Amino acid sequence: MRTGLALLLVVWFVIGALAGLQRHYYSGSDASCAKAGTIAVTVLAGPLNYAGVNPKIAHCSVPQPSK
């Protein structure tokens, strides 16, 4: 049972990673919080991406160090 669940999760994340690859989320050098969030949500959404779900993180703010 555990092996089956682990295999299902691996397949789920691989499909999500492929969806990110097809959308060219991994190319380019502009690293940002929003881009990382979009990639993470796309991988987590996995096969739902192929059902029409297109998750995007439009804005995120990272706490800045105090001066």
pLDDT of residue 13: 92
Q: pLDDT value at position 45?
A: 86
**Contact predicate 32/57, CB 8 Å:** no
Q: What is the span of the domain harbouring residue 10?
A: 2-51
CA pair distance 67, 65, nearest whole angstrom: 7
Residue 27 lies in a domain: yes
- Under DSSP, is residue 56 helix (H, G, I), strand (E, B) or coil? coil
12 assigned to some structural domain: yes
Residue 17 falls inside a structural domain: yes
Within a domain: residue 67? Answer: no
Give me the tens of pLDDT residue by residue for the chain, a chain 67 residues long. Answer: 789 999 999 999 999 899 889 888 888 777 788 888 888 888 888 888 788 877 777 777 767 777 7
Residues 6+ positions from 40 with CB-CB distance below 8 Å: none
Q: Looking at the domain assignment, is residue 65 inside a domain? A: no
Alpha helices per DSSP H over the chain: 2-22, 33-45
How many folded domains does the chain comprise? 1
